[in-house]
Amino acid sequence: MKVSINADACIGCGLCANDCPEIFEMNGDKAVTKSPNVPAGKEDACKNAATNCPTQAIVCE
């Protein structure tokens, strides 16, 4: 699974980094992915972070 964040849509709330620090981290006032590839076993956590994102900035494919 791949993950990306639309930086224009990200408001920097930090929910994704708090919920799934294995995949997301904060870089200043924006969230970024540590890698575009979601580690095995973390797919559900990634999808959950995408669902909880208030601006729907996270794309899991």
Where residue 25 sits, what CATH number does that domain have?
Answer: 3.30.70.20
Q: 39 lies in which domain range?
A: 3-60
Which residue positions in the chain have pLDDT lower than 70? none
Centroid of chain to Cα 46: 7
pLDDT of residue 43: 97
Q: pTM score, two decimals? A: 0.92
DSSP conformation letters of 16-61: HHHH-TTTEEEETTEEEES-SBPPTT-HHHHHHHHHH-TT--EEE-
Overall domain count for the chain: 1
pLDDT of residue 50: 97
pLDDT of residue 57: 98
Number of H helices, E strands in the chain: 2, 4
pLDDT of residue 33: 98
